Amino acid sequence: MDLSFVRRLGAFIYTLILLLFIGFGFCYSNEVKYEYRENTVYFSDYWKVNGRLITFPYSNQDVFTITNTLPTVYGDQMLVLRAYYDSFEVAIDGDVILESRDSYLFGHKTNIGQKEIWIPLEYKYSGHDISVTIDLQDSLYGSQLTEGFITTRSSYGIRQMQQNIPSLILFVVFTVTGILEMIVSGYFIVKRTALIRKLTFEALFYAGAFSIISAQWIINETRVPFVIWGHMTGFSILNVISFILMPMMFFEISRALFMRIGKVDNIIDSIIALAIVLSCLFATIGIIEWGTVVYVAHAIDLLVMIMVGYYSYTTVKDEQKAKTGVGISIANFIFILFAGIALVQYVNHIDYNYLLVVIIDLMIFIMVQVGLIYRRIGLNVKEEKEFAQAKVYAYTDEMTKLGNRRHFYAIVGDYEKQKLPKDLTYIAIDVNRLKYTNDNLGHDAGDELLIGTAECLRRAFNTSSTSTIGRMGGDEFAVLLVANETELNRRLFNLKHYLSHWRGKYIDGISISLGYASVREDPYANIDTLAKLSDERMYEDKKQYYEETGFDRRSPQ
């Protein structure tokens, strides 16, 4: 085992334990005593509406007034009533002491963040009657007055931390691991590793983003941030945005792991991204309420669950021997099941403690998915150091710096281990008149012709994360590309443009013959079939070139 990795893991766990001890010191110290008035007094009983006792949670579609008699209170305490409200008014013995104020975001009125009523108290209010008139928000899931308690600001924060220890731990763990995953995966994505590995690193990148976004959502659901720092509106908006981004990140992880990069998948991805942007934009400028964005998030949840469920089902059905694919599918099924349970709880009761189910769900998902991602990556640091240079020589064409035939067929081997993507295309390329160039302009010119062709191929295809370019030998090149027909045609058009405008010391414009074949033409084709068909079409293109130009293919003139 790599001892340096063990030391780093031990340092991370050690630091995490220290942070937890610090948190426990705040949460469970003996300063939480009555004489410091750091206690929390539950105040959910004996409330009345129109003289009748009510119990929490309490809901009323009309504006209503609740009344009660305050116990002994102090000037550093406040009465907290948990309710999603539009407006409220507080009176002591009939005298109004507090009214709600409208919240504005970029000049537009909003009720986002209006989820708790904080009523400052004074010692002189002790034993007096308090009345609170409340207009609850209209919500698809209903809105209720759920809880009341008298506390200090610091005691409230400590209470929330004590009740949400698992959430705080996951917030730290998800944030730290998420950042590390994004840094590591970003490095290898930029490094342009092979297609299968690159898509896996993309999955790891999205898993890191999912972890960070989930951490933000979890910590805001605990209410700890706005209890400690205030800014209830800002943290509530962050919570909604995190909530709507989570299903998108989950969808991106699944797409990368299952290699779902077809036209339909891209369209659904675009729809989700557009729905998120538009809903947040409309909420920001006041066209819709932020609560409506939550409804959009639930619609996206449903769509993503259907799509990922379909991916998982087809993977289990078509690739029963692929243990990693089946493992990912099972993890997705479990995640979707728990997410569905949490969503039903949320819909039935907006203030229900569904967070525990979500936390368990996220733990299962992150542990299993990321574990399987790392397994698929299969990186061995020591082996990478020892063989990195050898792989460069073994897999790189010395002249063009492209991958050579050995490298190309290594990628082909990766593809053949699983079902071929339907948009996979094999492109066969042959440079025209290389013999003529060598015989009449010299081998330096012939080398320049090949180097120029390689450069144009890179410019045309390297911007795609799903492309593999190789020099197969002599004047022959090949490209593997996962792209829909529109993108393929665009890249081929760009290639011809780059070739015709290429200029070097000896060469003024480059001509090639080209043929390609796609899995779209035959869903049951393997790569050998695609290569053979592409070669046939390339030779037809070469024959046509010599017929149109009048050049003699065999002649050096």
Q: Give tens-digit pLDDT for 117-158.
A: 999 999 999 999 999 999 998 875 557 888 899 998 888 888
Encode pLDDT of 248-272 as tens digits.
Answer: 988 888 888 777 777 888 899 899 9
Based on its alpha-carbon atoms, the radius of gyration of the chain, rounded to whole angstroms, reads 32
> Could you state, in order of their start, the residue ranges of all structural domains in the chain?
3-30, 41-160, 164-377, 386-549
Task: Tell me if 468 sits within 8 A of 456, measured CB to CB.
Answer: no
* Residue 130 pLDDT: 95
- Which SS3 state, helix, strand or coil, does residue 476 take? strand
Task: Output 38 or 393, whichever has higher pLDDT.
Answer: 393
Residue type, 453: T
Long-range CB contacts for residues 456-459, cutoff 8 Å, separation at least 24: 456/495, 456/498, 456/499, 456/502, 456/510, 457/402, 457/429, 457/495, 458/402, 459/494, 459/495, 459/498
* Residue 11 pLDDT: 65
Helix axes 485-500, 443-461, angle to 10 degrees: 150
**CA–CA separation, 459 and 469 (whole Å):** 11
Range ranked top by mean pLDDT from 242-246, 325-329, 530-534: 530-534
* Residue 425 pLDDT: 94
Task: Tell me if 109 sits within 8 A of 102, measured CB to CB.
Answer: yes
Range ranked top by mean pLDDT from 21-35, 94-108, 436-450: 436-450
Average pLDDT over residues 520-548: 91
Residue type, 529: T
Average pLDDT over residues 41-48: 90
User: Which has the minimum average pLDDT: 114-123, 218-227, 249-258, 318-327?
Assistant: 318-327
**CA–CA separation, 445 and 504 (whole Å):** 9
**CA–CA separation, 396 and 407 (whole Å):** 7
Average pLDDT over residues 324-332: 60
Average pLDDT over residues 281-299: 86
Task: Output 18 or 62, whichever has higher pLDDT.
Answer: 62
Long-range CB contacts for residues 270-279, cutoff 8 Å, separation at least 24: 272/247, 272/248, 272/300, 272/303, 272/304, 273/248, 275/299, 275/300, 276/244, 276/245, 276/248, 276/300, 279/244
- What are the beta bridge partners of residue 117? 81
Task: Output 429 or 232, whichever has higher pLDDT.
Answer: 429
Task: Output 186 or 95, whichever has higher pLDDT.
Answer: 95
**CA–CA separation, 403 and 507 (whole Å):** 23
Range ranked top by mean pLDDT from 102-106, 327-331, 392-396: 102-106
Encode pLDDT of 74-113 as tens digits.
Answer: 888 999 999 888 899 999 999 999 998 887 777 778 878 8
From the candidate CATH numbers 2.60.120.260, 3.40.47.10, 1.10.287.1080, 3.30.70.270, the one assigned to the domain spanning 386-549: 3.30.70.270
Q: Which CATH architecture has domain 164-377?
A: Up-down Bundle (1.20)
- Which SS3 state, helix, strand or coil, does residue 65 take? strand
- Which SS3 state, helix, strand or coil, does residue 287 take? coil
**CA–CA separation, 425 and 479 (whole Å):** 8
Pairing of strands 77-83, 85-92: unpaired
**CA–CA separation, 51 and 409 (whole Å):** 82
Average pLDDT over residues 351-361: 57
- What are the beta bridge partners of residue 426? 480, 517
Instruction: Provide the 8-state DSSP code for 104.
Output: E
Which helix (H) or strand (E) segment holds residue 152: the answer is strand 145-152
Task: Output 389 or 363, whichever has higher pLDDT.
Answer: 363
Q: How many CB atoms lie within 10 A of CB 442?
A: 12
Task: Output 389 or 380, whichever has higher pLDDT.
Answer: 389
**What's the topology of domain 41-160?**
Jelly Rolls (2.60.120)
Task: Output 319 or 82, whichever has higher pLDDT.
Answer: 82
Average pLDDT over residues 65-82: 92
User: Which has the minimum average pLDDT: 27-41, 47-61, 196-210, 391-405?
Assistant: 27-41
* Residue 64 pLDDT: 93
Average pLDDT over residues 216-234: 86
Query: What is the residue-averaged pLDDT of the chain?
Result: 80
